[in-house]
Structure 1
Amino acid sequence: MLQLRQGTVSVHDALDSLLSLSAVKTFCQKWEDEPLFRHHAKRYILALRPDSGIAFHETDRYKNPRGLSKSRREPPAAVAAKLRRDPSTFIEVGVFATRAFKKGEVVNLRGGIADLTEEEDDEMRDEGGRSDFSVLWSQRKECFCLLLGPARFVNHDCRNNVEFQLTGTNMAFKVLEDIAKDEELFTHYGEHYFEHDNASCLCATCEQ
């Protein structure tokens, strides 16, 4: 991980090191699909490189399943301290810019996407699967889609600064407005993702 962040290991070598782990070998042998695993793991490796322009940090803005009230985003160190004091605290992850992005740029944060049937969508609602923010509405496909890969860590805001772009079943993010270094990246999950008209949305824009 440290070598990836420092850029001292190539993507190819990082993948080979990952696939040499016994647990990963067992997983790939069980499912007999090493090429698919390698393709998916590469998305995470590319996101962790210093030239990706992004980093992942903790945020506790979003309401936890135990009903804690919403709170503001805090620096990673403050969130970590809170988690040590209260292990039941629900922690989410956000994507933050490590450099400035200009409007129109594409963020090197890749992901896969899979359509959800109405039955699968209902099942995820019933089981609370939405709480991990890995599902969003696709206007082009006119259905909810499951996000796969590091792209799933981009949180929602009703005034989003990036939007997802689809190319087949692959996706990336286009910058909608200039983003400063250390600013969080936000996309839009859909008009009725957090109940009707997003009435239960906890984003910073709705809090104002």
Structure 2
Amino acid sequence: VEAEKRAKGKKGKKKKNKGGGAGGAGPSEETEAPKAAAAKPAPLDKEGLLRLLAELHEDRIRFGITPETSVEGLAEALGEAAGEASEEEGDEETAEAAEEEADEAGEAREVAAEARRKAEAEAAVTAAAAAEEEEAAAVEEEEALAAAEAVAEAAVAAAKAKRAARTAAARARAEAAMAAAEAAAELS
């Protein structure tokens, strides 16, 4: 593999013909503009972006990509690049720089893991707070229900008391009317 890479060597850049010269009009720039426009992707609308985001999220879940695995993959790629760079060029500075990048990638992996732990802790705190709020709401709902039942019982008791008072008043009137009728009968 190394021999093939050495055999290929570095290719020199080809000089671009810029035209000019005696009477030459030069290359047409008109053909470059449509190519550049065709190469530029059309901007996505909001739905397109959301659909793309959903697809990427599904891919991350399907392939098990997490922040840690992303950083690990980056560290691995940097390590491989460092190995290849040191093999191809034999340059100690390049190897040291690659090692430093690998160390930085390791540190980035640790930072990502710490960030994930913090995010999980925050999510747990948020979930606990939500559970407490839900429990408090349930207690308030039970208290409101108990208060409503007490109000209903008080209304029933008030209705019974009102009915009893009416009945007692009607009895008292009836007794008074009977007493008045008896008194009138005795007088006549």
TM-score for the superposition, normalised by structure 2: 0.18
Q: Structure 1 length as normaliser, TM-score?
A: 0.17
Mark the structure with the bigger radius of gyration: 2
Larger strand percent: 1
